[in-house]
């Protein structure tokens, strides 16, 4: 009886191990089938991201939408960059905008630069600029909090490296950092030019050199919103789409380009020979 019991116990333990192994395999399959579960976003082209049925409203930037670059503490540029849209800094003053060879006449409400198709505004320029910039920073904070607070019944949880993935319209959330490193990232609007994409990131956003964000199916850069809990860094010669709203800083490597906005709530925006174009509304 003892031998028989041991044999039965051994068989039972073996069966439990097999069942556990099968359960792990099945969990990996279910992850791609459930819209409210994490996805193994390791940059593999064959990863399936669920299509969400709940659409998101566009994040209202209000007056912050008037700027292609808006920063709190500093805007640093290593020439030559090509900026299309207005630049603003507040609460820091004009002395914290560097590398643009600005043309400014005392008493004016704005300055200009050969590198900027638009105007540059600082908190110490003439009225109404100080109040306008204060309002823009306030609107940025409101928009940032709105994006961070969005919820959905079929939100898709993502993490780590999302290079190689195709995202469809909806709400995405990362509890840590995100990076685009092992492949390009595609936003596919599925034929709806008004489709909105919101990516909530608790920590940092990073892209490596040469990586691209690609628009497909009518997706518009103006409808993509990146809410970044700390700071964002775009790698050299990378191509990016969408509005970055960072709580802290945003840095672009040499030659990187973006169709979107660089909006840093508290800290700096640092660029180096970049092309930054405000998206069409």
The pLDDT value given to residue 25: 40
| Residues 171 and 211 both lie in one domain | yes
Q: Is residue 42 included in any domain, yes or no?
A: no
Q: Is residue 23 included in any domain, yes or no?
A: yes
Residue 142 confidence (pLDDT) above 80: yes
CB 175 within 8 A of CB 160: no
Beta bridge partners of 167: 187
CB 245 within 8 A of CB 228: yes
Two structure tokens written together for 266: 């508290």
Give the position of tokens 């961070």.
148
The pLDDT value given to residue 45: 58
Strand order in the sheet with 205-207: 97-98, 74-78, 268-272, 250-252, 232-234, 205-207, 178-180, 160-161
Q: Is residue 46 included in any domain, yes or no?
A: no
pLDDT band, residue 35 (cuts 50/70/90): very low
- Domain hosting residue 15, numbered range: 1-33
CB 77 within 8 A of CB 100: yes
Residue among 169, 176, 166 nearest 205 (CA): 176
Residue 30 confidence (pLDDT) above 50: no
Residue 47 confidence (pLDDT) above 80: no
For residues 96-106, give the mean pLDDT: 98
Residue 32 confidence (pLDDT) above 90: no
| Residues 256 and 118 both lie in one domain | yes
How many domains does the chain fold into?
A: 2
| Residues 186 and 112 both lie in one domain | yes
| Residues 82 and 144 both lie in one domain | yes
Q: Is residue 229 included in any domain, yes or no?
A: yes
Residue among 279, 232, 280 nearest 256 (CA): 232
The pLDDT value given to residue 16: 46
Task: Report the distance separating Cα 130 and Cα 89, nearest Å.
Answer: 10
Task: Report the distance separating Cα 24 and Cα 145, nearest Å.
Answer: 37
Q: Is residue 54 included in any domain, yes or no?
A: no
Residue 40 vs residue 208, higher pLDDT: 208
| Residues 108 and 185 both lie in one domain | yes
Residue 23 vs residue 87, higher pLDDT: 87
| Residues 255 and 148 both lie in one domain | yes
pLDDT tens digits for range 171-214: 999 999 999 999 999 999 999 999 999 999 999 999 999 999 99
Residue 143 confidence (pLDDT) above 90: yes
Write down the pTM of the prediction: 0.85
Residue 43 vs residue 238, higher pLDDT: 238
| Residues 152 and 18 both lie in one domain | no
The pLDDT value given to residue 168: 98
Q: Is residue 55 included in any domain, yes or no?
A: no
For residues 42-66, give the mean pLDDT: 85
| Residues 121 and 212 both lie in one domain | yes
| Residues 193 and 255 both lie in one domain | yes
Q: How many CA atoms lie within 13 A of 228 on its CB side?
A: 30
The pLDDT value given to residue 214: 98
| Residues 111 and 226 both lie in one domain | yes
Residue 39 confidence (pLDDT) above 50: no
- Sign of the dihedral defined by the CA atoms of residues 128, 87, 102, 72, in that order: positive
The pLDDT value given to residue 59: 99
For residues 255-267, give the mean pLDDT: 99
The pLDDT value given to residue 24: 37
| Residues 71 and 191 both lie in one domain | yes
| Residues 234 and 154 both lie in one domain | yes
Lowest model confidence (mean pLDDT) among 1-10, 62-71, 121-130: 1-10
CA 19 to mean position of chain CA atoms:
40
Residue 12 confidence (pLDDT) above 70: no
Lowest model confidence (mean pLDDT) among 41-50, 200-209, 231-240, 254-263: 41-50
Q: Is residue 203 included in any domain, yes or no?
A: yes
């Amino acid at each position: 009886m003892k031998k028989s019991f041991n044999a039965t116990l051994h068989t039972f333990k073996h069966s439990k191990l097999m069942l556990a192994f099968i359960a792990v395999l099945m969990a990996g399959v279910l992850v791609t089938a459930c819209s409210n579960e994490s996805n193994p976003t390791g940059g593999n082209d064959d990863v399936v991201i669920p299509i969400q049925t709940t659409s998101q409203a566009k994040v209202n930037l209000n007056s912050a939408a008037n700027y292609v670059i808006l920063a709190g503490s500093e805007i640093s540029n290593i020439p030559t960059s090509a900026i299309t849209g207005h630049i603003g800094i507040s609460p820091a003053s004009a002395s914290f905008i560097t590398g643009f060879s600005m043309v400014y006449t005392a008493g004016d409400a704005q300055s200009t630069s050969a590198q900027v198709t638009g105007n540059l505004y600082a908190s110490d320029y003439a009225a109404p600029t100080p109040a306008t910039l204060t309002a823009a920073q306030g609107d940025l904070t409101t928009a940032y909090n709105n994006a961070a607070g969005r919820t959905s019944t079929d939100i898709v949880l993502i993490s780590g490296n999302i290079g190689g993935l195709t995202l469809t319209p909806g709400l995405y959330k990362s509890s840590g950092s995100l990076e685009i490193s092992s492949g390009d990232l595609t936003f596919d609007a599925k034929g709806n030019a008004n489709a909105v994409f919101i990516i909530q990131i608790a920590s940092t956003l990073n892209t490596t050199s040469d990586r691209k964000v690609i628009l497909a199916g009518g997706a518009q850069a103006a409808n993509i919103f990146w809410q970044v809990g700390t700071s964002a860094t775009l790698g050299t010669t990378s191509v990016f789409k969408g509005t970055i709203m960072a709580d802290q800083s945003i840095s672009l490597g040499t030659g990187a380009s973006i169709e979107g906005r660089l909006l840093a709530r508290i800290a700096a925006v640092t660029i180096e020979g970049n092309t930054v174009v405000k998206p069409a509304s």
